[in-house]
Structure 1
Amino acid sequence: MWIQVEINLAPRQRGYHLITEEIYRAAPQLSEIKIGLAHLLLQHTSAGLTLNENADPSVREDFERFFNRLVPENEPYYTHTYEGDDDMPAHLKSSLLGCELTLPITDGEFNLGTWQGVYLCEARNRASGRTLILTIQGE
């Protein structure tokens, strides 16, 4: 069985946001899958997806600080600056983090580790909503 769902995520402030539960709410069909795979594609070039710690919020704060040091704004060598100081750094962060995940499904849920959750990694200061495509293959 194949299922595909477009998930429209509300605009969020810059940072690292857990979206696992939001995905479950937007895709109730997931609960019908006994065994399978879920592929998540974020259709944007200035945000990313990652799988990481879902319990301690300080992890998300540390992600923000680390990536801001790794990819600073206002570098004189950036030429792609049409959409603001955070634009080119957002593209770089998106490429470093990636915009897709593939997750196993077991008994209607992502088969994640105890402390794992799906993050939307928002790299723009004033981003619009984001679109996520969830493609499920399973039985």
Structure 2
Amino acid sequence: MRQASSTLSFDTLGRGLTEITSDVSDWVEQAGMTDGLLTLLCRHTSASLLIQENAARAVRADLLAWFEHIAPEGDHYRHDDEGPDDMPAHLRATLTGVNLQIPVANGRMRLGTWQGIYLAEHRRRPHRREVAVHMIGQ
């Protein structure tokens, strides 16, 4: 068994979904393992990771609308240290999660045909986000 780990950085444009599939795929290739398990961890509490359809752009728009509906901004939160989008961002990250595990076979992530990996930025302003990557395999 071998292991590899690193941290990938991404600049977000503010609230939205940034597809990071190709960046992660490039990292897997550079790790040089053909089979194993890839783990991703978003190192933030107001951003998250998700696997979702990457063909129809309407899916992303509907997800963002759902996030707004389920965790809207407002003055009803006690935690607003960094502004009115702070607590809703934490709630959205809690709902979607900050880590993913993806099997790797024959040097490629075993994602489905229409699946992509997304970094979800839940804050309004742009941020530089880090995703820790770790792979164990052979």
Q: Normalised by the shorter chain, which TM-score bucket?
A: over 0.9
The 1-side partners of 2:106 and 2:48 are apart by 27
Q: What is the deviation of 1:97? A: 0.5
Instruction: Give the aligned residue type for 1:95.
Output: T
Matched, 1:136 2:135: yes
Instruction: Give the aligned residue type for 1:120.
Output: L
Q: What is the deviation of 1:45? A: 0.0
Are 2:36 and 2:137, in contact at CA under 8 Å, matched by a contact in 1?
yes
TM-score, reference length from structure 2: 0.93
| 1:74 alignment partner, SS class | coil
Partner of 1:5 in structure 2? Answer: 6
Deviates more, 1:17-26 or 1:46-55: 17-26
Which segments of structure 1 move beyond 6 Å, counting only runs of 4 or more? none
Consecutive unaligned residues of structure 2, counting only runs of 5 or more, are none
TM-score, reference length from structure 1: 0.93
- Alignment of structure 1 residues 82-97 onto 2, 5 Å: 82-97=81-96
Q: What is the deviation of 1:28? A: 3.9
Are 2:28 and 2:107, in contact at CA under 8 Å, matched by a contact in 1?
no
Consecutive unaligned residues of structure 1, counting only runs of 5 or more, are none
**CA distance 1:26–1:36, shift in 2 (3 Å):** closer
The 1-side partners of 2:27 and 2:3 are apart by 16
| 2:45 alignment partner, SS class | coil
Instruction: Give the aligned residue type for 1:33.
Output: M
Length, aligned pairs only: 137
Are 1:15 and 1:64, in contact at CA under 8 Å, matched by a contact in 2?
yes
- Alignment of structure 1 residues 34-73 onto 2, 5 Å: 34-73=34-73
